[in-house]
Amino acid sequence: MLGRSGPHPNPVPEGEGITSPPGPLSVDGDDVVQGLVPCWAGRGEATGTNGRATAFLKQELAALGEKGLRRSLRPLDTAPGPWVTMDGKRVLLLCSNDYLDLASHPSVKAAAQAAIETWGCGAGSARLIAGSLEPHRTLEERLARFLGTEAALLFGSGYMANLGAISALAGPGDAIFSDQFNHASIVDGCRLSGARVHVYPHRDVEALEAMLGRAEAFRRRLIVTEGLFSMEGDLAPLHELACLAVRYEALFMVDDAHGIGTLGEEGRGALEHLGLETGVHILVGTLGKALGSGGAFVAGSLELVDFLVNRARPFIFSTALAPSLAAAATAALEIVQQELWRRHDLLSSASYLKKGLIELGFKVLGEGTAIVPVIIGDPARTMEMSRLLLEEGIFVQGLRPPTVPPGACRLRCSLMATHTREDLDMALDVFQRVGKGLGVIS
């Protein structure tokens, strides 16, 4: 059976922008979606592969290749770390988000293994369906305590956290104000919400205020920004944005996926780093970067979390995070608070690399964070430099549109706490050699 008679068990609420077909068709007693008749339902056997329907795949891939924008996956033969093996060759990894090198930490692995023994490999269902496991509840409590919020709620990924929070908090009749360089998950959350989206120039507080001043007719207003911008390596003007949120009675949401664990005296992220103690209503973070695990969370008030449990569709309709990932993140959170040297060494190494690259003549972005973007410009040249660096033992991925703006292709270096000065000196030597060979520096 492709369908069942009677009302759908999970109808889409009115006003959510999804149009249902006029009604099911019946073929041999089975309900099917309008126009989609299975080949086995009295219509003969399927022949061929319907190549005309899929011809666009080859065409669009070819177009991406011609523009130098086609991507492919690179096999990695070892666990993440400052050095990895690719195609049997040992290379220095300079593009991981495992900032504190916790993904392979013995305590983190042991916590995951113990959780598998106790709780099994998977959660089995969404938490609203089959119950909420202890590893999830413990991690949420620890995260809220660590970040100074009333509560936290786990999601399967940072992408789902942003989609869920934004689409739950804003909708038709509302206005969202989003930084120009916000992550794709924020962009897609804004689109999914159905709200009117206003994109303000990167970190431009004056432009944002002008937009807010013209948005009085909307029911709700939401300002959303990254805390530490993942592709730029710079920080949002959080104090100024928080003031605007108060002045214009707007919700204020910060995605600090790259800041939590790497910034602040205690590792609480960009908010702590910049001294912002209040004013953020929705704080999004990830478990898959500095915490070395997987998944994400939204932190805030008890009412916010209760609201998301009831309205955030990626939470409601997704199987819960594997309990082993939650246990691993809980162990990693303890390390973040105990081993402060990791954060210190991470930022010290990033500063050392950035200074060295600037002295060599490269155009480098970032401001005191673990992310050191090296601007190359042209996509083909960027990828060629990435290839040549890899040939000489340095793996740093090239980034092209739509990840970054046209004309701003870059090599996004991201450091780890366990990179040594010897590692970075080697990287600088190779960057200089390859950069000169391609004419990127003189």
User: Would residue 386 show up in a list of annotated catalytic residues for this protein?
Assistant: no
Pick from 358, 370, 378: nearest CA to 428 = 358
Which amino acid is present at 40?
W
Q: What are phi and psi of 311, to 5 degrees?
A: -125, -15
Peptide bond just before 172 cis, omega within 30 deg: no
- Written as six digits, the tokens of 30 are 């089975």
What's the full length of the chain, in residues? 442
In angstroms, what is the C-alpha Rg of the chain? 24
User: Would residue 301 show up in a list of annotated catalytic residues for this protein?
Assistant: no
User: Would residue 202 show up in a list of annotated catalytic residues for this protein?
Assistant: no
Among 105, 183, 289, 419, the active-site one is 289
Among 258, 273, 281, 419, the active-site one is 258
Pick from 22, 288, 51: nearest CA to 154 = 288
Q: What is the DSSP secondary structure assignment for residue 268, as one 8-state letter? A: -
Cβ 382 vs Cβ 409: under 8 Å? yes
Among 167, 230, 293, 386, the active-site one is 230
Following DSSP, what letter does each residue of 67-121 receive, concatenated?
TT---------S-SSSEEEETTEEEEE-B-S-TTS-TT-HHHHHHHHHHHHHH-S
CA distance 424 to 421: 5
- Written as six digits, the tokens of 333 are 């959170």
Which residues are tagged catalytic? Answer: 230, 258, 289
